[in-house]
Amino acid sequence: MDIQFQMSTDEQVINPVCDFTYSWCLNCGLSEKEATKFTIAVSELISDIILFAYPNRSIGFFDLTFRQTLSDIELIASEVGEPFDPDKHKYNAQEAIQNGNFEGAGLRIIRRFTDDFLFINRGKEGKEFRLQKTIDIHDIDELLELSRATKPKEPEDNASKVSYHIKQITPGDAEDIAKLIYRTYEYSYSKEELYFPKKIEQTFTGKEKLGVITRSDDGEALGYFAILKKSDSNIAEVGEAVVSPSYRRQGIMSGMMENLIKVGRDHHFEALFGKAVTNHPVSQRVNHKFGFISTGLMLLDTKNVVFKGFDEEYPQPVSVVIDVLPLQTTTSKKIYLPKKYRDILIQTYNLLDIPITPRQPEHYKMADKSDAELEINYADSTALIIVKKYGPDFRSVLREMLHSLTKQEAPNAIYLDLPLENSATPAQLSQLKDLGFIYCGLAPYFHNESDYLRLQKICIPFDFDLIDVHSEFGQQIKSFITDEYSQHS
C-alpha cells in the first residue's frame, strides 16, 4: 500500500515527516535501531531538498511516497528543483577534518543507513530519490530451519479420490490458505505475506483480490486459486495457485480455474492474464486448457520457487510466459506497430481474436516532456519502466534511468512498456537500438485498458535451454527472442 504526501519546502515539515517515518518503519516490522537509521536517512534527504532544491524560490513543493511490502519498505521523494548530480558531491574525510567541508556527508549517511539508494534524473520531470530497506523476517527463517529439521514424510501421490466442492474465498479462509501455501512450497514462495493469515485476511477484506478455495466434504482445504486486480487497468492476474500435494491430479486446479474465469466475467474485467513459470510447464498447460494465449516471454522474472514433488535444482532466476485470456468483445482499435515487430504482434492479436487497425504514421505528436513510471521489484531484482508520454527528452531520460538502475548492483532484468496506441512509438523504438532492449511480447490492456509492447534488457548471463515453454506459439516467441538476444550479445 502506498501513502503519499505533498510537502512544502518549509523547514517546519522536517520533524513531522521524521516522526511519521519512524512510526511507519516500526509498523512495517523494522527494529527500533533500523527504524532510527532509516529515519535519519529520510531526514538527510528531505533537508537537502528543502535547503538546496529551490534556492531562488521562497517556497517550493516535493512529493513523498511511502511504499510497503512484507519484505521491504521504500520511500520515493520527487521534486522539480534545480538539476543535481550526486557524483559531483563526494564526501572527502580529509576535507571535513582539515577544512570543515562536509559536502556530500548527507548522501554518505543516506547510503550507509539504507540497503539501496537510487537517484534518477527525469529531465523535465525533475528528480527522483528512492530509499529502500529490507525487512528481516526472523520468524519465517526460524520456521524454515525447523521445517527442514522436522520435515514430515511426503504424502503419496496416489492418494485416493476425494469428493470436494469449490466456493468463493472469505476472510475466514485465511489460515487454511497459509497452510496450503506451506504444504505446497514450504517456505520458498516469493510472496511472504501468504505465510501470515492476518495479511491474507486483510487483502480479501479490502477486495484487493478475488479467489476460490476447494474443500473436501468434511471441510479440509485442498486447493486455493486467486485473481489479483491490477491497480492501473481493468484486468486481473491469475496467480497464487496451490493444490495440496496429497490431492494433485484430481481435477482440482482445472475446477478452480473454471470458477475464476466465471468470477472474472461477472466482474466485467477486460481480460485475465497469468505469468506461468518455465521451470515446470504445469501452470502453462492449465492456462492453455482454458483458452489462454501466450503473448510474451519475460526472461529472469522471478526467484526460483521450490515445488514439493518436483526437482528443486534450478540454477538461474525463473522466466515466465505471459498468458492472456480476453473476456470482453472489443471494437477495432488503431495500433501503431513498429516495423521490426509488426508480424509477430499481428500474429499475437489474431490468436487473441482482438480486432485492430494497424497504422504506420508519417507524422506524430509528442508531449512537451516525457512521462515514464518506474516500478522496482527488490525481492526479484527486476524493474519495469512504463512509458506514458514521449517527449523530446525521451532517450536521455531513459538512458539516465537505466544508468541509475545499473550503477551499483545491476538487476537481473529491466522491462520496458511502450504504448502501442501512441503514434510516436514506432519512431521512438528506433531510438533504443544501442540500449540493449530486445522483444518480450504483447501486453494487452496492461495499463489504462491500453495495449503495450513489452521489451526487456537482460543484465546477467543465463541459459535459454533451461526455459521450458509449452504452447506452440509460445515456443515461436521464445525462438524469436533467442535469435534477437544472440544478435545483441
DSSP string for 330-368: ---EEEE--GGGHHHHHHHHHHHT--EEEE--SS----S
Report the alpha-carbon distance of residue 2 to residue 474 in Å, rounded. 35
Mean pLDDT (whole number) for 159-168? 84
Which strands sit side by side in the sheet containing 2-8, from one edge to the other?
2-8, 61-68, 72-79, 127-134, 116-121
Report the alpha-carbon distance of residue 62 to residue 24 in Å, rounded. 19
DSSP assigned state of 280: S
Report the alpha-carbon distance of residue 312 to residue 231 in Å, rounded. 33
Asked whether the CA dihedral 454, 459, 465, 467 is positive or negative, the reply is negative
**348 close to 292: Cβ distance less than 8 angstroms:** no
- DSSP character string of 217-279: TT--EEEEEEEEE-TTSSEEEEEEEEE-GGG-SSSHHHHHHHHHHHHHHHTT-SEEEEEEESS
What are the contacts of 101-107 at 24+ separation with CB within 8 A?
106/44, 106/45, 106/47, 106/48, 107/44
Report the alpha-carbon distance of residue 476 to residue 33 in Å, rounded. 52
Query: Count of CB atoms within 10 A of residue 407's CB?
Result: 11
Q: Write out the three cell numbers for 92.
A: 572527502
The chain-wide mean pLDDT, for the chain, equals: 88
Q: Write out the three cell numbers for 184.
A: 505446497
One-letter amino acid for residue 241 of the chain:
A
- Residues of the chain with pLDDT > 70, as a percent, come to 89
* Backbone φ and ψ of 272, nearest 5°: -110, 145
One-letter amino acid for residue 17 of the chain:
V
Task: Give residue-wise pLDDT tens across range 261-300.
Answer: 999 999 999 999 999 999 878 889 989 999 999 999 999 9
Mean pLDDT (whole number) for 134-149? 54
Single pTM value for the model: 0.82
**227 close to 267: Cβ distance less than 8 angstroms:** no
Say if residue 486's pLDDT is above 80.
yes
C-alpha dist (Å) from residue 125 to 10, 121, 131, 154, 177? 22, 8, 19, 55, 43
Report the alpha-carbon distance of residue 376 to residue 444 in Å, rounded. 21
Residue from 187, 191, 192 nearest 149 by CA: 187
Report the alpha-carbon distance of residue 185 to residue 448 in Å, rounded. 34
Report the alpha-carbon distance of residue 52 to residue 14 in Å, rounded. 14
Q: Which residue has the cell 480486432?
A: 355
Task: Give residue-wise pLDDT tens across range 314-373.
Answer: 789 999 999 999 999 888 999 999 999 999 999 999 999 999 999 988 788 899 999 999
Mean pLDDT (whole number) for 5-21? 95
Say if residue 381's pLDDT is above 50.
yes
Q: What share of the chain is helix, strand, coil (3-state, %, to 5)?
A: 40, 30, 35
Mean pLDDT (whole number) for 127-136? 91
**382 close to 412: Cβ distance less than 8 angstroms:** yes
Q: Write out the three cell numbers for 206.
A: 479490502
Report the alpha-carbon distance of residue 29 to residue 299 in Å, rounded. 32
**473 close to 321: Cβ distance less than 8 angstroms:** no
Q: Domains of the chain by range and CATH?
A: 2-134 (3.30.565.10), 333-488 (3.40.630)
Say if residue 189's pLDDT is above 90.
no
Task: Give residue-wise pLDDT tens across range 345-359.
Answer: 999 999 999 999 999
